[in-house]
Chains A and B, each alone.
Chain A
Amino acid sequence: MEHTFGNAMARLHTWAGVILGGLLFAIFWMGTLCVFDREIDRWMMPKTRLAKTSDISLDHLARAVASTVPAKASQWRVDLPTDRVPTLRFSCRDGAGDVIARHLDPATYQIIPDQGTKAGTGFIFPFHYGLHLKWKDLGKWFVGLAAMTMLVLLVSGVVVHKKIFAQFFTFRPRKGVQRGSLDLHCLTGVIGLPFHLAMTLSGLIIFVSFYFPQAQWGAYGSGEGAKAAYTAEAFGSFTRPRADAPGTLASLDAMASQAEREWAGGQPYFVRVWHPGDANSYVELRRSYAGDITMNLDQIYFDAASGELLHRFEAAAVMKVQRFISGLHFIQFDHWTLRWLYFLAGLSGCVMIATGFIFWLGARRARHARKGLAGVRVVEGLTVGSVTGIIVATLAFFAANRLLPQGTSFAGQGRAALEIWTFYLVWVACFIQAWWRPAAAWREQAWAICVIALACVLLNSVTTGDHLIRTVSQRTWAVAGMDAMLLLLTLLAAWVAIRLGRKAVDRAVQSGPVSIATEVRS
């Protein structure tokens, strides 16, 4: 093949897609679920399915948690309830630096027993940006590499798409799997280009300090001192050492009111008490960004004993831009229409990646059959495991959450860890099944999705009594939404499995295989 720019981009698009497509699907899938991570939390932690309370007294709260805070704790913190999280989230760091985290009932300020799960915010969300590979932050580097590859794929895809304007609205599923999947791949890729570009770039920009720590060399120099200086100047910080003498805590509600006045009406979203019980204790409040895209860094510090305002910080202009871009990705704002649109857009990204694979596999299979090669079986196994496999594994994670009794442990692994083991073991099993039964893999895993999704809905009803009719009538929308999505998935997976079953019966050769050579600009 002649080495032109077009050909190079075509080869790059294909190889980058094949090699990193599986990882990209995992990141997109988990990211899409993260749109509703707080709702997944409600589903996986039934005792947090509470009604929203609007009046929280911080002073009452401080008295209620006083006994739970360890003696030499360096800090305790409570995140206030929001539209999507009805509980108070209490956490504290003891003298040894270990973190204790609990949910509190907003009506009674009592601790809700540990539900023994990492749920959406504790497993799905960290998986999305770090793959739970913490050694040397390898996971984040892999995700970063995948994100850069995504950008390369988007640009190379556009360069290579010969009829990008003519086929802007084109989708021809009736012309066969090859034509249909390529059309859908281009449809979601081109129309969704602004979204995919924005999400990928914003995701990288969230971690700009991690991926380009060298940026600090120029302005600050290198070393720990330089890093600390940058962190303090960019993100704000205020510290003062312990006095090692007892101290009191003034009214937190009064501090919150003063903060509100300082912020011209902005509400605090969490309160943190540093050096609790010490004479030099101080209180930190940060402003909620539920009504903005920008995730502001506004923070105010008060002296704990007197309530005197000690320090105030706001992000500078360029930092605000970074926080706005981050906010486009994190979507922590209250806006249900946007949230659902992001969810649909995320799913379309998953469709884009999956259809890319399906097209490539189809083209490769035909070519390999002609040449008599068997390598495509390995890649097909990897694809099935990466696409339907991770969906099956996620559903198994949800099912395990409903099946495992509280307080279970096995081989030194607690309940939360056992749920996560279920996810990984089922995922591996899906890869093995795909290699062992290649012809039927897609269909059988589609059936697995159908069955396990339905099982999750039934298990939720049986173990918590919150079936769809009850959750809708009681307006526990988080749980109702999750059950509804699971039921939709059941139906969709069944439809796909049945269609694949019919195709297996008439395995006729496609009329005129679509090859990338006819589609690609060279």
Chain B
Amino acid sequence: MHTRYADHRLTRIVRIGMRLLGAVFGGYALTALTVASAGAVLARLGVARSEAVVLSAMPGFVLYLALLLWAFSIKSVTRLWLALAAGAAASAMLLHLVRQGN
């Protein structure tokens, strides 16, 4: 089904490029938003603010690593971007809700 246009050299380059962008920048953006919302949730739960920041940020690297590995192993680049966007939206919403309550 995909052979006709997927074999075209330009299409392959675009697909690889989109996957790279999604992995590196999309993955970072999603991680950053998740870290921010985690920090907000922790602070709201009563953890000291500076502690909440460090506690939510340190696992960020592990999360980013997981996202990178997933981004390069998932078959569909479209699905990659959709998942990243959905995750980012969810994190952003959580962050907004928690901070609004402050």
Residues of A bordering B, CB below 8 Å: 3, 5, 8-9, 12, 145, 148, 151-152, 155-156, 201, 204-205, 208-209, 211-212, 214-221, 229-230, 233-234, 316-319, 321-322, 325
By the criterion CB–CB under 8 Å, are A152 and B69 in contact? yes
What residues of chain B lie closer than 8 Å to A152, measured between beta carbons?
65, 68-69, 72
By the criterion CB–CB under 8 Å, are B54 and A217 in contact? no
Interface 1/0s, chain B 80-102, versus A by CB < 8 A? 00000000000000010011000
Q: List 12 A-B contacts (CB under 8 A).
A: A151-B61, A155-B69, A204-B61, A215-B60, A218-B41, A219-B53, A220-B53, A230-B53, A233-B49, A317-B51, A318-B51, A318-B54
Known contacts A3-B75, A212-B35; is-contact A156 B54 (Cβ 8 Å): no
What residues of chain B lie closer than 8 Å to A322, measured between beta carbons?
54, 58
By the criterion CB–CB under 8 Å, are B51 and A148 in contact? no
Partner of B39, one of A216, A229, A234: A216
By the criterion CB–CB under 8 Å, are A205 and B51 in contact? no
By the criterion CB–CB under 8 Å, are B54 and A208 in contact? yes
Residue of B nearest to A205 (CB): B58
**Whole-angstrom CA separation of A317 from B51 in the bound complex:** 8
Residue of A nearest to B43 (CB): A219
Given contacts A215-B57, A317-B51, A321-B54, 5 further A-B pairs with CB under 8 A are A12-B72, A148-B61, A217-B36, A219-B49, A234-B54
Residue of B nearest to A200 (CB): B61
What residues of chain A lie closer than 8 Å to B56, measured between beta carbons?
215, 218
Q: Is B24 an interface residue (CB 8 A)?
A: yes
By the criterion CB–CB under 8 Å, are A318 and B49 in contact? no
Known contacts A151-B61, A151-B65, A319-B50; is-contact A219 B40 (Cβ 8 Å): yes
**Whole-angstrom CA separation of A508 from B10 in the bound complex:** 39
What residues of chain A lie closer than 8 Å to B65, measured between beta carbons?
148, 151-152, 155
Interface 1/0s, chain B 24-57, versus A by CB < 8 A? 1000000111011111111100001111111111
Nearest Cβ in chain A — how far from B52, in angstroms? 5
By the criterion CB–CB under 8 Å, are A148 and B57 in contact? no
**Whole-angstrom CA separation of A243 from B81 in the bound complex:** 58
Known contacts A5-B73, A8-B73; is-contact A212 B32 (Cβ 8 Å): yes
